């Protein structure tokens, strides 16, 4: 029987972290953040706080990844700490909402930026005369949506033919992405003129506003955990996984802080708050319209790397569940020649492409953010649970700052969950409902596969 191969080195693993985290958020979220907290100083506080929180998660996940370098990442950690039902619910969420919705969002974001150069992509290709669109109107399918589906299919095809190929593409595109973002930073800090003094804060600072800005920052930081999903394909995982998680996350924090320093040097807080595309407006001030076009290119390359990384890593989660008998058996297929979870790659990408066509992925993704943070908190708490439950487990890397680092992450995750529950109760309960929809299928597959689960040993 074919098995996955360890063909990803240190650079590929680190590129998955950096390339998957930095998508479109760096170009978009400063606007939402300054609208919530009012001043550039508080925006930087939120960026630092969110970065340190993500680093706390990376430090905790490093222990789990080095101890259990299996496919699926959180799937394996939740399964070992709390039982198979929690690992299954995570895989269900990733397959049908979270990861597929993220892939659909990224592909659509790519086409939105591409319309800067090809406006025809925003035209309507055809209309489905059924109440499937916004406000139960007809569903309009745009040329750009078809393009986004083709892009997802092309990257699925690329990753189908080997994790090494997908990893090499990730290294190259991430390198180009970081180079372009460095150009934006240097342009702003080195050539930009200081903006006029601000009249006052854009908005009053409140606790609710701080948490709303933090959610925006954490969306931009999201993805630092993805490399754990391909742990079974990373060479020397006990060393390379902690390195990739920790140094990759630190690199992203540095890039985000420098980019925001450039934005707020050239633009005032009120200008950032009123600009949908902050980086493009900054470069337009410095280089004119050509500068704004350069940002669109940088954004597309950034999104492309995040999209490739999401398909590469996300497809390993349903594969891991299927391997344990908790999903369709065919999803556990490993290609005999290319050593990739070929059917899982096609299934995840195909479902994400359908979400692009439906136009409903953003709503699904919004619903599941609440429940996803419950699972993130539980995964980080698994470091403590497994120290008690399985003290004999080999731990090549032990979380720095244990137990306080994972405890802080769990407490902040709990605060975020409660804040979201009070601010958006409808979306929160819908997120829980979407996840619990998977329970009947869990009991079906559990009954179908009655053999006791055996963990892989390392």
pLDDT at residue 1 greater than cutoff 60: yes
In this structure, the dihedral spanned by the alpha carbons of residues 118, 15, 276 and 200, taken in order and rounded to 10 degrees, is -160
pLDDT at residue 48 greater than cutoff 80: yes
Rounded CA-CA distance 453/443 in Å is: 15
pLDDT, residue 183, reads 93
pLDDT at residue 36 greater than cutoff 60: yes
Q: State yes or no: cis peptide before 403, omega within 30 of 0.
A: yes
Average pLDDT over residues 64-77: 94
Q: Which residue has the higher pLDDT, 422 or 68?
A: 68
Burial zone of 414 (CB within 10 Å; 0-12 exposed, 13-18 middle, 19+ buried): middle
Rounded CA-CA distance 455/449 in Å is: 15
> Phi and psi (nearest 5°) for 149?
-65, -40
Burial zone of 388 (CB within 10 Å; 0-12 exposed, 13-18 middle, 19+ buried): exposed
Average pLDDT over residues 230-234: 93
User: At 170, is the secondary structure helix, strand, or coil?
Assistant: helix
pLDDT, residue 235, reads 93
Average pLDDT over residues 219-237: 91
pLDDT, residue 457, reads 40
Q: Which residue has the higher pLDDT, 271 or 450?
A: 271
pLDDT, residue 443, reads 93
pLDDT tens digits, one per residue of 394-440: 999 999 999 999 999 999 889 888 887 887 788 788 888 888 899 99
Q: Which range, of 200-214, 231-245, 303-317, 394-408, averages the lowest pLDDT?
A: 200-214
Q: Which residue has the higher pLDDT, 364 or 92?
A: 92
Q: Which residues pair with 139 in a beta bridge?
A: 128
* Domain at 10-448, CATH class: mainly alpha
Q: What value does the mean pLDDT of the chain take?
A: 89
pLDDT tens digits, one per residue of 121-168: 888 888 887 766 666 677 788 899 999 999 999 999 999 999 999 999
In this structure, the dihedral spanned by the alpha carbons of residues 324, 414, 213 and 202, taken in order and rounded to 10 degrees, is 170
Q: Which residue has the tokens 């999803």?
A: 331
pLDDT, residue 28, reads 81
Asked if residues 148 and 108 have their Cβ atoms less than 8 Å apart, the reply is yes
pLDDT at residue 453 greater than cutoff 50: no
Asked if residues 209 and 203 have their Cβ atoms less than 8 Å apart, the reply is yes
């Amino acid at each position: 029987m074919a098995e996955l191969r360890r063909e990803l080195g240190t650079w590929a693993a680190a590129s998955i972290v950096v390339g998957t985290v930095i998508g479109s958020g760096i170009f978009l979220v400063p606007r939402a953040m300054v609208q919530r907290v009012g001043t550039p100083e508080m925006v930087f506080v939120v960026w630092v706080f969110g970065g340190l929180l993500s680093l706390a998660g990376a430090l905790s996940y490093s222990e789990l990844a080095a101890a259990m370098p299996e496919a699926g990442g959180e799937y394996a950690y939740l399964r070992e700490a709390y039982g198979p039902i929690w690992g299954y619910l995570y895989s269900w969420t990733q397959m049908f909402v979270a990861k597929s919705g993220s892939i659909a969002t990224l592909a659509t974001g790519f086409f939105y930026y591409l319309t800067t150069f090809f406006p025809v992509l925003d035209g309507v290709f055809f209309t489905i005369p059924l109440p499937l669109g916004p406000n139960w109107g007809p569903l309009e399918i745009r040329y750009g949506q078809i393009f986004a589906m083709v892009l997802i299919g092309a990257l699925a095809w690329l990753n189908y033919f080997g994790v090494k190929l997908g990893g090499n593409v990730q290294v190259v595109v991430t390198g180009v992405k970081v180079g372009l973002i460095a150009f934006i930073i240097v342009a702003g800090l080195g050539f930009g003129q200081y903006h006029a003094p601000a009249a006052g804060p854009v908005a009053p600072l409140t606790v609710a506003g701080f948490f709303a800005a933090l959610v925006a920052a954490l969306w931009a930081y999201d993805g630092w955990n993805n490399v754990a999903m391909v742990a079974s394909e990373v060479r020397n995982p006990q060393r390379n996984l902690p390195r990739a998680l920790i140094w990759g996350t630190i690199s992203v924090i540095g890039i985000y802080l420098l980019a925001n320093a450039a934005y707020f040097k050239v633009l005032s807080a009120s200008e950032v708050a009123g600009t949908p595309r902050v980086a493009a407006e900054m470069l337009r001030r410095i280089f004119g319209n050509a500068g704004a076009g350069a940002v669109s290119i940088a954004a597309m390359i950034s999104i492309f790397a995040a999209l490739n990384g999401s398909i590469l890593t996300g497809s390993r989660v349903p594969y891991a569940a299927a391997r344990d008998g908790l999903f369709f058996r065919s999803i556990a297929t490993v290609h005999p020649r290319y050593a990739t979870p070929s059917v899982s790659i096609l299934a995840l990408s195909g479902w994400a492409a359908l979400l692009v066509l439906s136009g409903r992925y953003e709503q699904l993704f919004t619903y599941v953010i609440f429940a996803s943070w419950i699972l993130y908190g539980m995964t980080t708490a698994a470091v403590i649970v497994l120290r008690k439950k399985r003290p004999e487990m080999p731990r090549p890397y032990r979380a720095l700052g244990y137990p306080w680092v994972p405890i802080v992450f769990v407490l902040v995750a709990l605060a975020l969950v409660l804040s979201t529950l009070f601010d958006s109760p409808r979306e929160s309960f819908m997120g829980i409902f979407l996840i619990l929809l998977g329970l009947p299928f869990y009991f079906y597959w559990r009954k179908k596969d009655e053999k006791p689960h055996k963990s892989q040993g390392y």
